[in-house]
Amino acid sequence: MEDMDRWNRTHDALSRAALELFAERGYDATGTAQIAERAGVSEMTLFRHFPSKSALLLADPFDPLMAEAVRTGPADELPMRALAEGIRQVWAGIDAETTRGLRVRLRMIAEAESLRGAIERHSEATITALVEALTARGIAPDSARVAATATISGLSTALLEWARCEQASLDDALGNALDVLGGGGGA
């Protein structure tokens, strides 16, 4: 248990250090050695927690929650509706602090030249989790992959647009995207 607590503290310290440095210097001007030093660990320790510098911004704790919500949704929902409603359920439980942190992270991603396409490159774990949830519902693997990929692509676009616009609320941005993706239209 103590090892897990230490792991979590180190993980959180690295995340905080990275965000602070990215905000101070910009993503592209910040090195992993600087992040590790700020967190008080070695660079090797950083890479045990995060496989790359971009993972410090792109790690997604919501994958298992979204997959479970999709897996346990109403059995008669079509794949796109099941994805949209499962994801909507998870995002409805996100608090204001998490929302602010998400906006900061996504704005950094949108502004860093070297991160163009990063969300798409780092989405495979999310897509895989959603594919597994859909196949557990009896959806054919090929169909599940198409639906999950389309959903994550659409959400990525909506989230990056939301991050760039200070006035937009996360609820509105995601709600509209999930309505479109789930077949409900959109404004």
Q: The whole model's pTM is what? A: 0.80
Position 151 scores a pLDDT of 95
CA distance 101 to 22: 13
Q: What is the pLDDT of residue 186?
A: 55
Q: Kindly report, residue by residue over 140-150, the tens digit of the pLDDT.
A: 999 999 999 99
**Is the same domain home to 41 and 122?**
no
DSSP per-residue letters across 153-175: HHHHHHHHHHHH-TT--HHHHHH
Say if residue 115 is in the same domain as residue 27.
Answer: no
Considering the domain architecture, whether residues 86 and 156 belong to the same structural domain is answered as yes
Q: Which span out of 19-23, 40-44, 116-120 was modeled with the highest average pLDDT?
A: 40-44
Check whether residue 49 and residue 134 sit in a common domain. Answer: no
- 24 in a domain, yes or no? yes
Same domain assignment for residues 47 and 71: no
The residues near 84 (Cβ < 8 Å, ≥ 6 apart) are: 151, 178, 179, 181, 182, 183, 184
- CB-count exposure of residue 95 (10 Å: 0-12, 13-18, 19+): exposed
- Mean pLDDT, rounded, for 23-48: 95
Q: How confident is the model at residue 185 (pLDDT cuts 50, 70, 90)?
A: low
Per-residue confidence (pLDDT) for residue 3, from 0 to 100? 78
- For residue 100, what is the domain's CATH number? 1.10.357.10
Count of domains in the chain? 2
Between 183 and 23, the more confident residue is 23
Mean pLDDT is highest, among 26-35, 88-97, 152-161, 166-175, for 26-35
The proportion of the chain whose per-residue pLDDT surpasses 70, expressed as a percent, equals 97
> Per-residue confidence at 187, pLDDT binned at 50, 70, 90?
low
187 within some domain: no
Mean pLDDT score across all residues of the chain: 90
Q: Are residues 30 and 44 in the same domain?
A: yes
What local confidence, expressed as pLDDT, does residue 78 receive? Answer: 93
Which residues constitute the domain of residue 97? 60-181
pLDDT tens digits along 67-104: 999 999 998 999 999 999 999 999 888 888 888 888 88
Mean pLDDT for 23-51 is: 95
Q: For 112-146, how does the pLDDT look when each residue is reduced to its tens digit (9 = 90+)?
A: 888 877 777 888 889 999 999 999 999 999 999 99
